[in-house]
Amino acid sequence: MLDSETNQEQPKAAHDRIAVIGERDTILPFRALGLEIVPIHPSQEVTGLVEKLLKERVRVIFFTPDLFPFLRPIMERTRKSPVPCFIALPTAKVEMTIERLRKLVAKAIGADLLFNKT
């Protein structure tokens, strides 16, 4: 985001941060959408990386499904909180149902935009 007066890049507010983590080739297109991408291979390092992102106040984390085994403990620990919100990126191997997507969106923003329920 550019500051209209100084024409310099302004950091996003802490609550704005969205990250996409996974294999570089898979997540690179999300940079074009303005999202923060964090390339990482499936390994034990994923847990440390995500803990760091959470300390930096990243609120929504999209991830490639191959990272799920490493994210599961963090997701279980934080599942009753509205943030962080973890969302698996749909792939040819993994299908996300509308109901699951609706619940994730409602959890992240506090409203059901897909079916206009609050």
Tell whether 75 is covered by a domain. Answer: yes
Give me the domain span that covers residue 41.
14-93
What is the number of structural domains in the chain?
A: 1
Quote the pLDDT of residue 4. 37
Listed range (26-35, 40-49, 94-103) with the worst mean pLDDT: 94-103
Going by pLDDT thresholds of 50, 70 and 90, the confidence category of residue 52 is very high
For 1-67, give the DSSP string.
Answer: -B-TTT--B-PPPGGG-EEEEE-HHHHGGGGGGT-EEEE--SSTHHHHHHHHHHHTT--EEEE-GGG
113 backbone φψ class: left, alpha, beta (φ>0; ψ -120 to 50): alpha
Where residue 24 sits, what CATH number does that domain have?
Answer: 3.40.50.10580
| 99 is a domain residue | no
Distance (Å, whole) CA 82 – CA 67:
21
Q: For residue 108, what pLDDT band results from cuts at 50, 70 and 90?
A: confident
For residue 104, being part of any structural domain is answered with: no
